[in-house]
Structure 1
Amino acid sequence: MAHEHHEHHGTAWNKAAEAALIRAGEQWTAMRASIFDVLASFDKPASAYDIADAVSKAQGRRVAPNSVYRILDLFVNANLARRVESANAYLANTHPDCVHDCIFLVCDQCGQTTHIDDDKITGTVRAAASGAGFKPVRPVIEVRGTCADCAQN
Structure 2
Amino acid sequence: MSGHHVHHEHSGDSLVKAAHTALVDAGEQWTDMRADVFAALAERECPASAYDLAESVSALRGKRVAPNSVYRILDLFVRTNLARRVESANAYLANSHPGCRHDCIFLICDSCGKAVHIDDDRLTGALIGAARENGFADVRPVVELRGTCADCN
Output the TM-score relative to the length of structure 2.
0.96
- Residue 149 (structure 2) aligned to one of 118, 125, 147: 147
Q: Distance in 1 between matches of 2:73 and 2:139?
A: 20
Q: Is the 8 A contact 2:131 2:139 kept in 1?
A: no
> Which deviates more from structure 2 when the two are superposed, residues 53-62 or residues 7-16?
7-16
In structure 2, the residue corresponding to 1:21 is in which secondary structure? Answer: helix
Could you say which residue in structure 2 is the equivalent of 1:57?
59
1:3-152 paired onto structure 2 within 5 Å? 3-151=5-153
Structure 1 residue ranges (4+ consecutive) displaced by more than 4 angstroms after TM superposition: none
Shift of residue 81 of structure 1? 0.2
Shift of residue 138 of structure 1? 2.4
Q: Distance in 2 between matches of 1:14 and 1:83?
A: 18
1:59-101 deviations in whole A, cap 9, x for unaligned? 1000000000000000000000000000000000010001000
Shift of residue 147 of structure 1? 1.1
Q: Is the 8 A contact 1:5 1:95 kept in 2?
A: yes
Q: Distance in 2 between matches of 1:137 and 1:34?
A: 31
Unaligned runs of 5+ in 1: none
Shift of residue 103 of structure 1? 0.4
Unaligned runs of 5+ in 2: none
Q: How many residues align?
A: 151
Partner AA of 1:126 in structure 2: I
Partner AA of 1:14 in structure 2: V
Give the aligned CA root-mean-square deviation in angstroms: 0.8
Q: Distance in 2 between matches of 1:28 and 1:7?
A: 21
> Which deviates more from structure 2 when the two are superposed, residues 127-136 or residues 74-83?
127-136
Identity of aligned residues (%): 66
Q: Is the 8 A contact 1:83 1:89 kept in 2?
A: yes
Q: Is the 8 A contact 1:106 1:144 kept in 2?
A: yes
Shift of residue 137 of structure 1? 3.4
Partner AA of 1:72 in structure 2: L
Partner AA of 1:150 in structure 2: C
